[in-house]
Amino acid sequence: MEYEVKLKKVGRKKTLRQRIKENKSWQNLSTFIWPLVFGLIMIGLWQKEVLHSWFHTDTFTLPLLNKIGGIMGDIHEKLLENTISTVQVAFWGLLIGSLLGYLIAVFVAIFPKVGKGGLSVIGAFASVPVVAMAPVFNNWTKDVSTDAGFRSMVSKIIVVTLICAADMGLNAYRGLTEIKPYSEDLMAIYAAPKRVTLWKLRLPNSVPYVFTALKVSVPASIMTAIVSEYFAEYITGVGRQIRENIVLAQYSTAWAYIATACLIGVVAYIILMVLQSICLKRYH
Amino acid sequence: MSEAREVEIKTRNLGVTFQDNEGNDVAALTGVNLEIMKGEFIALLGPSGCGKTTLLRSIADLQKPTEGDVHIQGMTPKEVRLQKKFGFVFQQPVLFDWRTVKKNVELPMEIMGYSKGERSDRADEMLEMVGLKDFAKHYPKQLSGGMQQRANIARAFGLDPDILLMDEPFSALDEFTKEKLHEDLLRIWRATNKTILFVTHNIQEGVFLSDRVCVLSPHPGRLSAIVDIDLQRPRSLEVKETAHFNELVAKVRGSFEGGSVS
Amino acid sequence: MKRKIKRIVEKPWFSSIIWILILIALWEVGAVVVSNTKRVPENILPHLHQILGAALSGKTVTADMTATQAVLSSAGLTLFRALLGFFLGAVIGFLFALLMKLSGVIEKMLFPYLMLIQLIPVLGLAPIVLAITGDINVSRVVIASILSFYPVATNTLAGFKSVEKEKYDLMFIYAAKPYYIYTKVLIPAALPYFFTGLKIAAPMAVTASILVDTLQGDGGLGCLLSQSLKHAMSIYVFWLIVFFSAFVGIIISKIIGWIEYGVSPWKRRA
């Protein structure tokens, strides 16, 4: 009996640590605090030049953060100009490529017998290093315009388009075909024509999958835009500026462009997340 | 029947209170006093939300009680668990896709450090017992739902646990498979003499299998009645046709407060 | 006879072949148009037989190598570095996922940054990595491993998280030590996810390695590619590289698929 009483006390009492751990608002807070702690440690290591000694480099190649920030302020007009150029390429490539990929997926979903093989061919394209093809599009677009800036842009957009189309095609096809069991049968019972099934069932069902595709292709489109700038005829864009400035050994300026590139990625992703939460409201 | 038997599991004023998303207390289970004898087959019966699974999980140490306590063989659930005296069968057959049926049965024995030969012999024995001998080398995905649940039971018995806890193990199976498994379970139980706690929401199932049916009621979850099932052992499916079986079913049904359960 | 043809037509590979034929047809139509309208058609879209001819021809494009020899010898260099970075990235990615699974605090600390890496155009960082490391080979491996690291880490972590609560409960009932929970449950459960990560990572590692080649002229496919485009050697070398890298990308993900198939017997008999 004595043993039981003792046990009861042990069972009830919680340590302060446990109490804190189980507290809901602490749990919510900690998902912000821990990343913040890590970020601050990294910033500290960078500013105190600890990172520099780890990587055997100096503040010339890896400038301090305040210096990068200062330069970003100094050249903000040029940053903006190049950002617009890169974002334009990424955006149009993303848009055209995603539309193209989606149309292919719809085609395959309507004519599955012919289409399925095509999809596996596209799947194979997804593992092709498309960057290797970037240079040739400069040759393709030579006669598009007399304006080097414009034809350069077209050739960069083609590369981004290819990357995004493969990704969207594969995901959208899954969205158009992976339908809840019985709903297809239900459509058949109502003798709904293919067109109606597509419009009422397949297209709405594919929306979440479209966002799955975009989560991959939005960062990929930016990365591809940046890399294809390396090979472009006309010198513009954030990626090209990184390279040009490094060639000129202006590392701080290069870092300002790197920071800008990261910002573009983060902002684009945030926009995508907001769009997703608006579009997928009904799906939850 | 129970005069000379010792108490295996004892709950005293057991209660579990959860917090919902808004931080309000919700009593899943209150004031449960229950004594279960060694070798007894107990059915915990009730509608969803009555706390029957919570009671089972409290006994298995999967859920910490917020009130009262549980004693098993004079120990806490945790001590019993650490001595590896529990077997647990979930509603879904929790099998490991990457292991063959036999390897699935061997898993708990691997964890407990049985030798290879011992594991293999024992797994073969268990598979024979549940009628899966010919499927030892198959993977779970190749089996039907009923066969998967058999494998699951074989695994639970593999360690020779003192207490077997079963959480609606047959509720996802069709009636024919279920009846077959009922008979098999009773046969295995008789041969091994385990204490079994069997959670179900099916009155016939509870009455057919158990020595006693513990009826639980919701809002808040509590033990509302205990019905002795004095059907003779061993039981076969024919017993379901007898008038006494139907009387007992009616009695259990009548013991639900308000008679809200059909 | 008719039935036999029908059976062949309904095979999945049949429509793949049809599509490949359609692509070849489109290419050739394009090539005909280009050769009639452009001054230097091989810079834009040569005929496929011309590319094949260049691959098989014995004519040297460098001091002592034919086009195919040049491509293959450079490819060895590029692919070796890509593979090294890929392995390094995959191992680090796996360990990272494991570490994040082991400690909730580490997961909370690092997970947002893992997401962030995905948004940073890592390939765009190639020049700065070269500037920091100062060594082209090191930067190749570093870039390839960063690119392979995050798909492997995120997918493996998703694999660890895919383990149902019941499996943990079962392990808890058996009072299994963490070592067993990891080796018997978590790691096997995450394996298919790990392979998905590898399949995404492999072509990226190859792309990265080719790109880093172009930054500095000391061999490798990317270096050869730039030379060919600047007309320092036959333009057909460029086309060979395009086809070769496509082939490598496809074959690597196939190989990973086969390895996965080999180490997971339960997938064979479902």
Distance CA B42, CA B2 (A): 13
Please tell me which residue of chain B has the smallest CA distance to C188.
B98
Distance CA C223, CA C73 (A): 12
C91 contact B CB<8A: no
Cβ neighbours, 10 Å, residue C218: 10
C178 chain-B contacts, CB cut-off 8 A: none
Do the domain assignments include residue C52?
no
> What tokens were used for A14?
């919680």
> Cβ distance C30 to C45 under 8 Å?
yes
Chain C: give the shortest CA distance to residue A191, in Å.
Answer: 26
Kindly determine whether residue C188 and residue B98, on different chains, have CB atoms separated by under 8 Å.
yes
Output the CA torsion C125→C126→C131→C133 (10° steps): 110
Chain A: give the shortest CA distance to residue B218, in Å.
Answer: 25
Window 35-64 of B: residues touching A by CB (8 A cutoff) are: 64
- 3-class SS of residue A232: coil
Please tell me which residue of chain C has the smallest CA distance to A57.
C132
- 3-class SS of residue C76: helix
Handedness of CA C127, C196, C76, A137 (dihedral sign): negative
Concatenated DSSP letters for C181-248?
IIIIIIHHHHHHHHHHHHHHHHHHHHHHHHHHHHHS-SSSHHHHHHHHHTTSS-HHHHHHHHHHHHHH
Do the domain assignments include residue C263?
yes
> Cβ distance B108 to B81 under 8 Å?
no
Q: Structure pTM?
A: 0.83
Q: Of all helices (H) and strands (E), which one includes residue B113?
A: none
Per DSSP, B239 falls in state G
Percentage of chain C exceeding pLDDT 90? 21
Q: Are residues C39 and C106 in the same domain?
A: no
Window 219-248 of C: residues touching A by CB (8 A cutoff) are: 221-222, 225-226, 229, 238, 241-242, 245-246, 248
Please tell me which residue of chain A has the smallest CA distance to C226.
A135
What is the 3-class SS of B145-211, one letter each residue? HHHHHHHHHHHHHHCCCCEEEEECCCCCCCHHHHHHHHHHHHHHHHHHCCEEEEEECCHHHHHHHCC
pLDDT at residue A100, as a whole number: 94
Single-letter residue type at C269: R
Long-range contacts of B48-51 (CB under 8 A, 24+ apart): B48/B201, B48/B218, B49/B218, B49/B219, B49/B221, B50/B216, B50/B217, B50/B218, B50/B221, B51/B16, B51/B216, B51/B218, B51/B220, B51/B221, B51/B222
Kindly determine whether residue A4 and residue B69, on different chains, have CB atoms separated by under 8 Å.
yes
Kindly determine whether residue B94 and residue C180, on different chains, have CB atoms separated by under 8 Å.
no
Lowest average pLDDT, out of A211-220, B67-76, C38-47, goes to C38-47
B62 chain-C contacts, CB cut-off 8 A: 169, 172-173
Q: Mean pLDDT throughout B222-230?
A: 90
pLDDT at residue C183, as a whole number: 92
Q: What is the pLDDT of residues B127-171, one digit of tens each?
A: 988 889 999 999 998 888 889 988 998 998 888 889 999 999 988
Do the domain assignments include residue C105?
yes
Chain A: give the shortest CA distance to residue C170, in Å.
Answer: 23
Q: Containing domain of residue C223, as a range?
A: 59-268
pLDDT at residue A214, as a whole number: 92
Q: Mean pLDDT throughout B50-73?
A: 91
> Cβ distance B73 to B38 under 8 Å?
no
pLDDT at residue C217, as a whole number: 66
pLDDT at residue B214, as a whole number: 94
Window 230-269 of C: residues touching B by CB (8 A cutoff) are: 264-266, 269
Distance CA B61, CA A144 (A): 73
Q: How many CA atoms lie within 13 A of B95 on its CB side?
A: 29
Do the domain assignments include residue C145?
yes
Instruction: List chain A residues with pLDDT less than 70.
Output: 1-24, 126-132, 284
Mean pLDDT of chain B: 88
pLDDT at residue A20, as a whole number: 67
Q: Are residues C197 and C238 in the same domain?
A: yes
pLDDT at residue C243, as a whole number: 85
* Structural domain boundaries in chain A: 2-48, 65-283
More confident residue, B115 or A179: B115
Kindly determine whether residue A135 and residue C238, on different chains, have CB atoms separated by under 8 Å.
yes
Task: Please state the φ and ψ torsions of residue C134, each to the nearest 5 degrees.
Answer: 70, 0
Kindly determine whether residue B69 and residue A24, on different chains, have CB atoms separated by under 8 Å.
no
Distance CA A207, CA A205 (A): 6
Chain A: give the shortest CA distance to residue B6, in Å.
Answer: 18
> What tokens were used for A127?
């593992």
Kindly determine whether residue A222 and residue C121, on different chains, have CB atoms separated by under 8 Å.
yes
Q: Are residues C33 and C121 in the same domain?
A: no
Instruction: Name the CATH topology of A65-283.
Output: MetI-like fold (1.10.3720)
Q: Are residues C87 and C194 in the same domain?
A: yes
pLDDT at residue A9, as a whole number: 36
Chain C: give the shortest CA distance to residue A253, in Å.
Answer: 11
Name which of C26, C207, C231, C243 to mutate to probe chain A: the one with the most chain A Cβ atoms within 10 A of its Cβ.
C207
Do the domain assignments include residue C53?
no
A24 chain-B contacts, CB cut-off 8 A: 23
Q: What is the pLDDT of residues A220-277, one digit of tens each?
A: 899 889 888 888 888 888 888 988 888 888 889 988 998 999 899 889 988 998 998 8
pLDDT at residue A22, as a whole number: 66
Single out the residue of C90, C89, C97 nearest to residue C158, CA to CA. C97
Cβ neighbours, 10 Å, residue A264: 22
Q: Are residues C77 and C205 in the same domain?
A: yes
Q: Mean pLDDT throughout C202-222?
A: 81
Single-letter residue type at A90: A
Distance CA C195, CA C26 (A): 34
Do the domain assignments include residue C245?
yes
Q: Are residues C109 and C190 in the same domain?
A: yes
Name which of A41, A125, A139 to mutate to probe chain C: the one with the most chain C Cβ atoms within 10 A of its Cβ.
A139
Distance CA B218, CA C188 (A): 40
> Cβ distance B27 to B17 under 8 Å?
yes
> Cβ distance A272 to A215 under 8 Å?
yes
Q: Are residues C24 and C158 in the same domain?
A: no
pLDDT at residue B246, as a whole number: 93
B124 has pLDDT over 90: yes
Domains held by chain C: number: 2
Percentage of chain C exceeding pLDDT 70? 98
B177 has pLDDT over 90: no
Q: How far is CA A123 from the centre of its chain?
A: 19
Q: Are residues C10 and C110 in the same domain?
A: no
Range list for CATH 3.40.50.300 in chain B: 7-85+162-257
Instruction: Name the CATH topology of B7-85+162-257.
Output: Rossmann fold (3.40.50)
A129 chain-C contacts, CB cut-off 8 A: 203, 206-207, 210, 245-246, 248-249
Distance CA B98, CA C124 (A): 40
More confident residue, C14 or A127: C14
Q: Mean pLDDT throughout B224-236?
A: 89
Look up tokens 């029947």; give the residue.
B1
> Cβ distance C151 to C201 under 8 Å?
yes
Distance CA B181, CA B178 (A): 5
pLDDT at residue B261, as a whole number: 44
Give the bridge partners for B89, in sequence order: B166
C215 has pLDDT over 80: no
